[in-house]
C-alpha cells in the first residue's frame, strides 16, 4: 500500500541518525513537510540538508527534548515554516548499561528525561496544535524493552515501559479529536547505537561481534537477525495513514518473535 501524506506536517525527534532519520526520509518521500529535531546539530543539519536537496520539504531544528521551552519552540518553528503539526514522532533516545547498584544517578535522569519526559513534552505541545485541526498522529518509539526487561538496563527499560503508559493515556484523551497515539516496540535495530553496543559487548566478553548477536542479543528471538531501520520506519509510515485510523493505544511489536514465548 502506498501512503501519501501531502499537506501534512511532521515533527520527528532523534532525527539525526538511525530510525529517526529513516522515518524523516520516508515521511518526506510520502509528501509530508518534516522538521527533524535532534540535540546533535553536527549530524542533524547535514542529514536534513541531504534530504532537502533530494526534493524533500525538510528542515532541522536543534532541540533538547528535556527542556519545555525548547520543545515549545520546536512546535512554533514547525507552524511558522509549514503551517501546522499533524504528525509527532517521538524517537529521541540513548542507552547506558550498568547494574542498578552502580548506576550513576545523572545517567538515570538523562535517559528518562530524554525518552520519557521528552515524549511527554512533545506530545503535550503537539496535541495542542492537533486538537485545533481535529486530526493527528502521535507515534512513540518504545521498544521490546518496554514489554520485557533485561538486566543492567534499568533506566532504559523504565523509560520504555513508561512510554507505553503515556501512549495509552494519550490515545484515550485524544480520540475525540480524531487523533491516534501508538507505540512501536522494536527489537534490536541496525543503528549506530546498537552497532556500538555490539562492539562493546564483543570487547567485554572477548568474543566476536557475530557471537554477540548469536549468544546475547538474539538468543530469545525465533528469527535470528536484527531489524533494519526501514522496517520500523515503514510501520511508522503506515500508522500515519488514513488506513490506520482505527489503530490507537496500541503497542505494536516488531521483534522477530521475541515476545511469542
Positions of CATH 3.40.50.720 in the chain: 9-189+228-255
Cβ atoms of 153 and 161 within 8 Å: the answer is no
Q: Is 156 a catalytic residue?
A: yes
Task: Report pLDDT for 214.
Answer: 87
Catalytic member of 82, 125, 156, 188: 156
Burial 42-56 (b: 16+ CB within 10 A, else e): ebbbebbeebbeeeb
Task: Report pLDDT for 189.
Answer: 95
Is the pLDDT score of 211 beyond 80?
yes
Cβ atoms of 64 and 39 within 8 Å: the answer is yes
Bigger pLDDT: 202 or 116? 116
What confidence tens digit (pLDDT) does each residue in 69-120 have? 999 999 999 999 999 999 999 999 999 989 999 999 999 999 999 999 999 9
Task: Report pLDDT for 238.
Answer: 98
Strands (E), the chain: 9-13, 33-38, 58-62, 87-90, 136-141, 179-186, 251-254
Is the pLDDT score of 1 beyond 80?
no
pTM of the model: 0.96
Burial (CB < 10 A; 0-12, 13-18, 19+), residue 95, is middle
Question: Rounded to 5 degrees, what are φ and ψ at 178?
Answer: 75, 25
pLDDT range class, residue 60, cuts 50, 70, 90: very high
Q: What superfamily would CATH give domain 9-189+228-255?
A: NAD(P)-binding Rossmann-like Domain (3.40.50.720)
Task: Please state the rounded mean pLDDT for residues 11-37.
Answer: 98
Amino acid at each position: 500500500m502506498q501512503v501519501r501524506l501531502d499537506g501534512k506536517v511532521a515533527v520527528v525527534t532523534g532525527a539525526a541518525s538511525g530510525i529517526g532519520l529513516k522515518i524523516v526520509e520516508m515521511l518526506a518521500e510520502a509528501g509530508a513537510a518534516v522538521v527533524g529535531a535532534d540535540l546533535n546539530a553536527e549530524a542533524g543539519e547535514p542529514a536534513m540538508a541531504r534530504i532537502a536537496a533530494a526534493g524533500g520539504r525538510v528542515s532541522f531544528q536543534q532541540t533538547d527534548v528535556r527542556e519545555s521551552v525548547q520543545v515549545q519552540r520546536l512546535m512554533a518553528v514547525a507552524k511558522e515554516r509549514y503551517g501546522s503539526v499533524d504528525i509527532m514522532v517521538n524517537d529521541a533516545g540513548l542507552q547506558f548499561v550498568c547494574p542498578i547498584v552502580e548506576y550513576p544517578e545523572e545517567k538515570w535522569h538523562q535517559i528518562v528525561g530524554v525518552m520519557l519526559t521528552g515524549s511527554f513534552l512533545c506530545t503535550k505541545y503537539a496535541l495542542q496544535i492537533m486538537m485545533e485541526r481535529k486530526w493527528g498522529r502521535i507515534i512513540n518509539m518504545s521498544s521490546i524493552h518496554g514489554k520485557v526487561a533485561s538486566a543492567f538496563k534499568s533506566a532504559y527499560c523504565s523509560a520504555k515501559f513508561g512510554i507505553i503508559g503515556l501512549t495509552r493515556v494519550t490515545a484515550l484523551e485524544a480520540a475525540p479529536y480524531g487523533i491516534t497515539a501508538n507505540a512501536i516496540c522494536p527489537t534490536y535495530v541496525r543503528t549506530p547505537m546498537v552497532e556500538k553496543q555490539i562492539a562493546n559487548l564483543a570487547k567485554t566478553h572477548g568474543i566476536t561481534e557475530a557471537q554477540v548477536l548469536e549468544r546475547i542479543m538474539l538468543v530469545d528471538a525465533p528469527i535470528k537477525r536484527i531489524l533494519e531501520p526501514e522496517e520500523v520506519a515503514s510501520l511508522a509510515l503506515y500508522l500515519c495513514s488514513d488506513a490506520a485510523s482505527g489503530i490507537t493505544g496500541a503497542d505494536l511489536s516488531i521483534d522477530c518473535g521475541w515476545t511469542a514465548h
